Amino acid sequence: MKIVIAQMEHETNTFSPVPTPWESFGPNGAYLGKDAYQAMKGTRTPIGAFIDLAEKENAEIVTPVSGFAYPSGPVDGAAYDRFCDLICDEVAKGCDAIMLDLHGAMVVQHRTMDGEGTLLEKVRTVAPKTPIAVSLDLHANVTDTMVSNATVIAGYKTYPHIDMYETGELAGSILLRAMKGEVKPVMVWGNVPILAQTLKMNTSEGAMKDYAEAAHQAEREGALAASAFGGFPMADIPQAGMSTIIITDANRPAGEAMRDRILSVAWSQKEDFIWHDEPLEQAIARAKQMKEGPILLLDHPDNCATGATQDTMHVLKEALRQGLTDIAVGPIRDPEAVDQLIRAGVGANVTLPIGGKMDMPAINRKGEPLELTGIVRAITDGEYTITGPQFTGVRAMMGRSVVFDAGSAEIVITERLQEPWDRGVFTSVGIDPTRKKYLLLKSRMYFRPVFLPIAKDMVYCDGVGVGSSDWRMFNYEHLRRPIYPLDEQFDISHLSETAPAAAQNQ
Ligand SMILES: [Zn+2]
């Protein structure tokens, strides 16, 4: 048995000014061939699970490409073509199964608003009968093209995503069982017109917890896989929003009933998927009153894991204005500042503009650097191994990195985008985050498994960035309407009739 296994992951924020060339998909672009296998084997990711499953079957494994890019603007067309060609060319040589680790919210410049659906369509054209298993992120904006061109699709059930491996394992094992004739997967899907905000998608709280639990319940009731997607809202595409995919063992009516039940759990609590921010000045004043650290200051609108530039300085500026001290800031992406500070050297006293190097035309904001004076405390290559619990074992590369000590704040400045999803963003440059009063993190959700356990409190800070959870910042042109909360009044009384046509595969 020969299995083609590949990864192509990107969450596209169509409002982001950050470009997404081939080089964004790995240290030197996406991994190819044996390098893809070497890089992903043993990781707690869907592709890591696909490799393990295939090896258990003693299958011949081919890994044409494996690439994961941080969320950013639409993917470069040539980079996307390269992914598609690498995968389709390998499939065209002949194989018994295909396992793809995809995101589900990829938009491609000059090509498609449905990167995954278009890829799957191409793969199906090359291999019309070959079974295809797909893993998707919880933030996938699912389309009919994706569902109609895959055999099995399963999505993460957690946010923060700590079940990546399990999701790949689920999708891959259903496919293998189907190939052995043990089950006959029938897939149905549907969506509800809710543009949920990612800050309200924590699967351990509120409506999102109920929605995710409804998917677990469907699996307990016999669904082979039930995936409740939150969707990705910073995507101006028709199918952005919440959706559900159910796979049953040849029981379409049961699948449709489960789908409708899960979607109605979301619809009945739609107000709870919308985020309301506290004014920044008030949030910082509140943080100032807190006695014991570490206190997390969460600059969520500038979170690079949502496509933001990770270089806006508004939260730090306000924190310094109100006199907060003993702050560690992590990381700010500013290659120019890194270069200047490395040339100055450790121990040098420097005054320079930090951050604010990128304009954000989609939200009508120009970059606003913050001029600071301080001492270069450390210079590193920015590499560390993530200890978990998410992306455990993956080598993180922040690019050359500098610790700039501006007195009240020690700032980690990096060349590359880096979500603070591991304490390594601080410990790898010599900062002990447990000993700081404040940790200013450009994070919205990934801080939870790693920083929440060491934090005494946390404050969401309404900074500036294209990762904002305020939907009024964005001008949607392609999104289907009506959709909540952009449109307040509409009726959705017949869910299964309004849901798009379900697709069947086996
Ligand atoms: Zn996600």
Structure confidence by residue, pLDDT tens digits, 343-398: 999 999 999 999 999 999 999 999 999 999 999 999 999 999 998 777 788 888 89
Instruction: Write down the pLDDT at residue 63.
Output: 98
Residues of the chain with pLDDT > 70, as a percent, come to 96
Q: Ligand 1 centroid to 392 CA: how many Å?
A: 16
Q: Is the pLDDT of residue 504 over 80?
A: no
Q: Ligand 1 centroid to 167 CA: how many Å?
A: 13
What does DSSP say about strands 225-229 and 242-249: parallel, antiparallel, or unpaired?
Answer: antiparallel
In angstroms, the CA 243 to CA 190 distance is 6
What is the mean predicted confidence (pLDDT) over 243-259? 97
Fold of 2-273: Rossmann fold (3.40.50)
Instruction: Write down the pLDDT at residue 228.
Output: 98
For the chain, give every residue range classified as CATH 3.40.50.2300: 2-273
In angstroms, the CA 155 to CA 170 distance is 9
Q: Ligand 1 centroid to 235 CA: how many Å?
A: 13
- Give the tens place of pLDDT for each residue, 89-115: 999 999 999 999 999 999 999 999 999
In angstroms, the CA 488 to CA 267 distance is 13
Confidence category of residue 192, pLDDT binned at 50, 70, 90:
very high
Residues 412, 439 contacting (CB under 8 angstroms): no
Q: Is the pLDDT of residue 506 over 50?
A: no
Residue 198 backbone phi and psi in degrees, to 5: -60, -30
Amino acid in the structure at residue 218: A
Q: Ligand 1 centroid to 348 CA: how many Å?
A: 40
Amino acid in the structure at residue 216: H
Instruction: Write down the pLDDT at residue 155.
Output: 98
In angstroms, the CA 299 to CA 308 distance is 11
In angstroms, the CA 243 to CA 246 distance is 10
Residue 189 to residues 12, 48, 137, 138, 496, Cα–Cα distance (Å): 22, 26, 15, 14, 10
Confidence category of residue 495, pLDDT binned at 50, 70, 90:
low
* The token pair that represents 361 in the structure block: 């035309």
- Give the tens place of pLDDT for each residue, 106-162: 999 999 999 999 999 999 999 999 999 999 999 999 999 999 999 999 999 999 888
Residues 270, 432 contacting (CB under 8 angstroms): no
Residues lining ion ligand 1 (Cβ < 5 A) are: 137, 139
Q: Ligand 1 centroid to 155 CA: how many Å?
A: 10
Q: Which residues pair with 226 in a beta bridge?
A: 246
Q: Ligand 1 centroid to 139 CA: how many Å?
A: 5
Q: Ligand 1 centroid to 406 CA: how many Å?
A: 34
* The token pair that represents 42 in the structure block: 């043993």
Q: Ligand 1 centroid to 161 CA: how many Å?
A: 7
Q: Ligand 1 centroid to 278 CA: how many Å?
A: 24
Element containing residue 51 per DSSP (H, E):
helix 46-56
Residues 8, 119 contacting (CB under 8 angstroms): yes
Among 129-133, 230-234, 274-278, 279-283, where is mean pLDDT lowest?
Answer: 274-278
Q: Ligand 1 centroid to 160 CA: how many Å?
A: 8
Establish whether the linkage from the previous residue to 27 is cis, with ω within 30° of 0: no
The pTM of the full predicted model, rounded to 2 decimals, is 0.88
Q: Is the pLDDT of residue 454 over 80?
A: yes
Residues of the chain with pLDDT > 90, as a percent, come to 87
In angstroms, the CA 231 to CA 139 distance is 4
Instruction: Write down the pLDDT at residue 180.
Output: 97
Q: Ligand 1 centroid to 201 CA: how many Å?
A: 10
What is the mean predicted confidence (pLDDT) over 25-49? 96
In angstroms, the CA 96 to CA 390 distance is 31
In angstroms, the CA 323 to CA 317 distance is 10
Instruction: Write down the pLDDT at residue 493.
Output: 59
For the four alpha carbons of 437, 162, 381 and 102, in that order, the dihedral sign comes to: negative
Instruction: Write down the pLDDT at residue 500.
Output: 42
Q: Ligand 1 centroid to 289 CA: how many Å?
A: 33
